[in-house]
Structures are given as C-alpha cells and as structure tokens.
Amino acid sequence: MHDFDELAAFDAVMATGSLTRSAQEQGLAKSTLSRRISQLEARLGQPLLRRQANRLIPTEAGLLFHDYCQEMLALANRSREALAELSEAISGRLTLEVHSTLARSWAAPVIDAFLTRHPDVELTLHTRGHAPNAPDSHCVHVWVGELPASGLKQESLGRLTRRLYANPDYLAHHGAPRHPRELAHHAWIDLLGTTHEGLTLHHATQGCFQFRPPCSRLRVDMPVLHMDPIAHGRGIGMLPDWLVAAREKHHPGELTPCLPAWQPEPLPVTLLYPYGQRPRRVTALLEFLRKAAPGEWQPREALV
C-alpha cells in the first residue's frame, strides 16, 4: 500500500526538479520532503530520481512510475470529492470563465461573496476573449455576445443595452451629433474591435442606420482600457449602459450619451455549463450566479 504523502512529494519534485522549491510550495521542511521520497524509493526497491547539475531528474523507473503516481493521486482526489458530495457542506474545486467585460465589474465581487458563503470551496477565475466551444469542458462560463454552437447547456442571464457615449467636454468642443451620419466627422473609439465589421443603430421611428466606423490602430482586451479614452475626451464610442452606470458612481460626469434615441442591439449575457449530473458545488455556483445577475440587465429570455 502506497503512502499518499510520499506520492505527493514525488509528484511535486517531478514538477519542479527541485527539493527546495517543492518544499516551499508544499509548505514542508526540505528534510521532510526528502525523507518521504527516500521512503517511497525504499518501498519500490529502486531509485526514482537522480541529481544532474542543480536539478533532480527522473530515472527510467521514475518516469515509468510517475504516470501511475499521478493516476493514484487523481483517483484519491476524486474519491475525496465524491465523499464530499454526500455531506451537506459545499466543497471542492471550481473553475469559472468569464467574458472580460464582466470580469472586474461583476464577477470579482460575486466570487468574493460566493467564497465567503462557502469557505471549503476553491475557485479559479479565468477571463476569456473568445467564446467557449469545448463540449467536454468542466468549467462554468459566463459569456457576453452571440455564441456559436458549443455543446454546452446555455441559459440566459439577461441582456446588456448599449449606446454611444462621449465626454461632455468633447461634445462641447466638437459639437454633439444629431444624426448617425454625422459620426463620420468625429473621432471614433473602438479599441476592443467590436465594430470593425460595422455598426447598425436602430431608431423607434426612423428605422436603421448602418455606420462603418474606421478601424483602430490600437487593440486592447480589457473593457476599462476601451472606456478610459472615451471618458477622457478622445472621441465617441459604444459602451454598455450598465458598465457606464457603474463607472459613474466613482467618476460622475465623465460620460454622457450621444444620439440616445439610436441604439444597437443589446448584448446577450449567457451562462454555460455541461449537460448531465453536476457536483453539488457546481449547482451551488450556478444558482449563485443566477441570483447575482443585476436587475439592470434586460429581461431574460429562455434559450433553446
């Protein structure tokens, strides 16, 4: 019977090649880590590691055994998680992937509240710039915008209305546009690249107007970096109303709507997760995210 502390010690050194670094990452004394590996080698009857220069590298036996070591550790972890599912406590590891538009303004405080409520959960947050498309993904995703087929279950969290915004000083100096055709005479800010294929604006009585904005020479992947130059008076750009309202709480008066009667289509906000039976911690996270969707997001629509 293998000792899982010894297996974990060997796996850690295989990952780093260093007893010192592995001991620091494991929160153990270097002597303890070394003793566990020696005990494992004694059980197996052959050396698993050898020193080369300043690194520990695996022997042939070490390479062979490491695959089995990882399988045993993974199985032990799954068994612990399965047993945790039988208890009332919500525990285990979760991964949440969020569209960059919502990462800082919405996801960060929501995750903090979720972890406070469930102290035995470990959660990893990733921001995404591309729509999820892996049907075998075990992550929970929150995406803003249209989605291709992904093989994941999709559930609407709401819709983000958008409109054109500018700094009041910019409009005072350059004049406020009275019709979308006048946008061609203004500086256009689209560092996220969301309008490079054109922008359709809708009016309740005047129909639609197709605007072909110039392409930006600078691209960014963070909405705050797109919003800043608009707020600082560099030009006009399209922003979600909800994000602007959040910014205005801290920086009032920086942004004002342009052509408020002309608006693009709202952006859908979609919750995605795997089909089938889910661990209790995933179910808890999904329910928490549903309740955390702000009321300012437009009415939710069922997705087929």
Give me the chain's average pLDDT, please: 88
pLDDT tens, position by position, 59-105? 999 999 999 999 999 888 878 777 766 655 688 889 999 998 898 88
**Beta carbons within 8 Å of 144's beta carbon, 6+ residues apart:** 99, 101, 102, 160, 267, 268, 269, 270
What pLDDT, on the 0 to 100 scale, is given for residue 87?
Answer: 58
Spatial separation of the C-alpha atoms in residues 19 and 5, rounded to whole Å: 15
Q: Structural domains in the chain?
A: 4-86 (1.10.10.10), 91-160+267-292 (3.40.190.10), 162-258 (3.40.190.10)
pLDDT tens, position by position, 262-280? 999 999 999 999 888 888 8
* Start-to-end Cα distance in the chain: 50
Indicate whether 11 pLDDT > 60. yes
Note every long-range contact of 125-134, with CB atoms under 8 Å and residues 24 or more positions apart, other chains counting: 125/95, 125/96, 125/97, 125/98, 126/95, 126/96, 126/97, 126/98, 127/97, 127/98, 127/99, 127/100, 127/103, 128/97, 128/98, 128/99, 128/100, 129/100, 129/221, 132/97, 132/272
pLDDT tens, position by position, 128-145? 877 776 655 678 999 998
Spatial separation of the C-alpha atoms in residues 269 and 303, rounded to whole Å: 11
* Buried-exposed string 209-232: b where 16+ CB fall within 10 A, e elsewhere: bebebeebeeeeebbeebbbbbbe
Q: Which residue has the higher pLDDT, 299 or 29?
A: 29
Q: How confident is the model at residue 304 (pLDDT cuts 50, 70, 90)?
A: very low
Indicate whether 212 pLDDT > 80. yes
What pLDDT, on the 0 to 100 scale, is given for residue 298?
Answer: 67
